[in-house]
Chains A and B, each alone.
Chain A
Amino acid sequence: MIKAPKGGKVVVKLTVNGIARDVESSPLTSLLHILREEVGLTSPKAGCQQGGCGACTVLVDGEPRRSCVLAVGGIDGSAVTTVEGLAPDGLLSPIQAAFYERYASQCGFCTPGFVVAGHALLARNPEPSREEILGALAGHMCRCTGYVKIVDAVEAAARGEVGEERVFPESRPEEPEVLVPGSPA
């Protein structure tokens, strides 16, 4: 029996993006809070904190889960993967490259959740039908794109129709000069 007394903390062992971490927390704290505030990974977002929008989705032992409603005490020993862990050597995963190339993102707030869910879908079903993609992503909310380009991007990733994009691209001479590279945020 693991016990945390009133207001107390326990040590929860997690592997986050391949790095083993001992997290001190109340077992009742959400994984979302732990990732954002303790581990410092801000890609999963607090869109609703009700498990309803999918912006907080991360992989727990390879399965996509709503981190905002997941009490961290229940996943002691688990491996957690966020978007930051999908391109560890700087090369975008196919799903990330597809989203980038096919404009499946506008404001970007829902994108980490969609990317993680899409990544997990392709891991368990490498050739999904459009119906299956819609089913897998049904719980994710996007208010900007109208979803079509998102589904197109997942299809493209499944077919391998993506380029080799790096997280920090080298500039190529034939590209138009961009006056203000990088995100202004």
Chain B
Amino acid sequence: MKAVGARLPRYDGLGHVTGRTAYVDDVRVAGMLWTKALRSPHHFAAVRSVDTRKAEELAGVHAAVTHADVPKNLYGHLEALGVPADEPLLADGEVRYKGQPIAAVAAEDEATALAALDLIEVEYEEREPFFDVRKAFDPDAPRIHPWGPVYPHFGPHDHRRIRKGDVAAAFDRADLVVQGVYRPTAIEHCPVEPQTGLAVPEVHGRLTIYSCTQAMYFSMGVVAAHLEWPLNKLKFVGGTVGGGFGGKVDTATETICALLAIKSQRPVKWRWTREEEFLASSTRAPWHMEIADAVTSDGWIIGRRMLTLHDAGAYTRFSSYGLTKHSFHHTGAYTIPNLDFNGYVVYTNRVPTTAMRGFGVTSISFATEMQMNRIAKVLDLDPWEVRLKNANRVGDTSANWVALSDPSTVPVVQAAAKRVGVELKPEFRLMTKDRRSGDLLPDHLVEQLVSTDGGES
């Protein structure tokens, strides 16, 4: 272990500064074709027909694919975890977000591929799109997903539930209730490398796929599932990803390249434009969070009621997983013993949302921190002290009863205060993350503590 503690240069640093690092777009294969996709211009529409014949006849075009060419068109990113499939690789009968791919062509060059798109005939019937998650439960809200307005497969429920302690009693006891609504909006990953994939047909019918995915084995499984191929027919070559941040787990190009490569028997590359990135690539979700905290006048948060509406966009992808993580963390870095959390994955006609840096948790971190400031302001207390008082400590349990063995809230808040030149009162400066006792263990926090006899992990 000679490397531990040593200052090592990045092993790929020389490649980066000399331009030698190879990304998918830099792989050179003879006879490669370029791909362009026809994308829905409408937020929500029925697709009555798709005809690619004229596009296929254009000189220089080697293949075109629609949903009819996909052995298993409908897929769910979490199928391996038991979540049913809801998303078509290529649109079949309807489009649910602007930018959704309907067909793709492979041609000798990008210009020809673009010209081919103009020759694809599609009949749309526009429908009224739905964008406001707050209206999901209105009786007249348009139904855009066959499963209904929200994802229905959280066990027997149509929402993720966290129940802990006795929230009604907490709200009865409270000196004050502090409420806030927090609505962070969508964020684009915007990696400098756009989504890029290259599929190369090999002898014996195998495919080599050069992929910018962050999750190679996962993407390999997605492609195999769509093609209904055994995994050993695929060879995935990953490597340096030009920025992913969570957005390159969606297997955005590989399957369509594979289908075009199979049909044309030529290597096929698809490199998204920056416009496609902004229009059609998945984003971090917009969130709508409503928090009501039962607080005492001396700054204890004794109960939290929370409603989260997570905007999944048109399809589920990983949203149920993201919301579940969010629910586990909905008290932030603080210990709140009485909880009633309901979170919904809401379908809208936005582009489907996905993971991005701290999937599901950045939203609640933001909301909780804003809420802590609000509580401090309403109670006329110091916001640092409110945080330190309610901070996670050893032996506390999280919202979903995970025993906390080494929570860092206290030292981090203290370090932050020091960094910005805030002088904490001695009582707060001397706090530690040790197991609660004395003044730091009021009655309402006793029940949530993990037991001392062998309860800690």
Q: Check A-B contact in the complex, CB < 8 A.
A: yes
Residue A42 lies at the interface, judged by CB distance under 8 Å to chain B? yes
Does the CB pair B21–A176 fall under 8 Å?
no
Specify which of A46, A92, A178 is in contact with B17 (CB 8 Å cutoff): A92
CB distance from A102 to the nearest CB of B (A): 10
Chain A 70-112 residues near chain B, CB threshold 8 A: 82-84, 87, 92, 96-97, 99-101, 103, 105, 107-112
Residue contact A83 to B12, C-beta cutoff 8 Å: no
Q: Which of B6, B14, B20, B23 has the most CB of A within 10 A?
A: B14
- Contact check, B242 vs A185: say whether CB atoms are below 8 A apart: no
Q: A96 to chain B: closest CB distance in Å?
A: 4
Q: Which of B68-76, B191-199, B255-263 contacts A (4 or more CB under 8 A)?
A: B191-199
User: For A107, what are the chain B residues with a Cβ–Cβ distance below 8 Å?
Assistant: 191-193, 240-243
Interface of chain A residues 158 through 185 with chain B (CB within 8 A): 165, 167, 169, 176-178, 180-185
Residues from chain B with a CB closer than 8 A to the CB of A14 are none
Roughly how many angstroms separate A177 CA and B4 CA in the complex, as a whole number?
Answer: 11
In the complex the two chains form, is B274's CB within 8 Å of A45's CB?
A: no
Within 8 Å CB of A176, what residues of B? 2-3, 6, 8
| A48-B274 in contact (CB<8A) | yes
Bound CA span A59–B91, Å: 44
Query: What are the residues of chain B within 8 A of A180 when measuring CB–CB?
Result: 11
B274 pairs with A100, CB closer than 8 A? no
Q: Determine the interface band of chain B, counting residues with CB < 8 A from chain A.
A: 35 or more
A52 at the interface (CB under 8 A from B): yes
Q: Which residues of A contact B3 (CB under 8 A)?
A: 176, 178
Number of A-B contacts (CB under 8 A): 126
Check A82/B19 contact, CB under 8 A, given A107-B241, A109-B191, A143-B192.
yes
Chain A contact surface mostly: loop
Say whether A144 faces chain B, with CB atoms less than 8 Å apart. yes
Cα of A52 to Cα of B277 in the assembled complex, Å:
14
Which residues from 24 to 46 on chain B have a C-beta closer than 8 Å to any C-beta of chain A? 25-26, 28
In the complex the two chains form, is A45's CB within 8 Å of B11's CB? Answer: no
Q: In the assembly, what is the distance between CA of A141 and CA of B273, in Å?
A: 16
CA distance A46 to B6 in the complex (A): 36
A50–B11 CB distance below 8 A? no
Please name all residues of chain A whose beta carbon is closer than 8 Å to the beta carbon of B189 when the two chains form the complex: 143
0/1 string, B107-120, CB within 8 A of A gives 1: 00000000000000
Task: Verify if B82 is at the interface (C-beta below 8 Å from A).
Answer: no
B274-286, CB under 8 A of A: which get 1 and which 0?
A: 1000000000000
User: Across the interface, do A41 and B192 meet the contact criterion of CB distance under 8 Å?
Assistant: no
Q: Is the CB of A143 within 8 A of B243?
A: yes
A67 beta carbon closer than 8 Å to chain B: no
Quick one: which of B9, B18, B243, B273 has the most chain A CB within 10 A? B18
| A128 CB to nearest B CB, Å | 19
The closest CB in chain B to the CB of A110 belongs to: B192
Encoded as 1 (CB less than 8 Å from any B CB) or 0, chain A from 130 to 146 comes to 00000000000111100
Give A40 to B12 CA distance when docked, in angstroms.
Answer: 21
A49 is contacted by which of B14, B28, B273 (Cβ under 8 Å)?
B273
Q: Does chain A have a CB within 8 A of B271?
A: yes
Neighbour of A47 across the interface among B11, B16, B20, B194, CB < 8 A: B194
B11 in contact with A115 (CB, 8 Å) = no
Check if B413 is an interface residue, CB within 8 A of chain A: no
Distance between Cα atoms of A101 and B25 in the complex (Å): 27
**Residue on A with the closest CB to B196?**
A46
Which B residue sits closest to A42, measured CB to CB? B26
The reply to whether B243 and A101 contact each other, CB–CB distance below 8 Å, is no
Neighbouring B residues of A83 by C-beta, 8 Å = 17-19
Known A49-B274, A107-B241; contact A167-B18, beta-carbon cutoff 8 A? yes
Q: Chain B CB within 10 Å — which of A43, A108, A141, A183 has the most?
A: A108
B178 contacts partner chain A, Cβ-Cβ < 8 Å: no
Which chain B residue lies CB-closest to A165? B14
- Supposing A46-B25, A176-B3 touch, asked if A109 and B242 sit within 8 A by C-beta, the answer is yes
Q: A99 contacts B17, CB within 8 Å?
A: yes
Q: What's the minimum C-beta distance from A27 to chain B, rounded to whole angstroms?
A: 15
User: With A100-B14, A109-B243 as given contacts, are A42 and B191 in contact (CB-CB < 8 Å)?
Assistant: no
Chain B residues with CB under 8 Å of A49's CB are 273-274
Residues of A bordering B, CB below 8 Å = 36, 40-43, 45-50, 52-53, 55, 82-84, 87, 92, 96-97, 99-101, 103, 105, 107-112, 115, 141-144, 165, 167, 169, 176-178, 180-185
Query: What 9 pairs across the A-B complex have the smallest Cβ distances?
Result: A43-B19, A185-B239, A108-B16, A109-B242, A176-B2, A48-B274, A83-B19, A42-B26, A96-B17
Other than A36-B25, A47-B192, give 6 A-B pairs with Cβ distance below 8 A. A108-B15, A111-B17, A176-B6, A182-B15, A183-B240, A185-B23
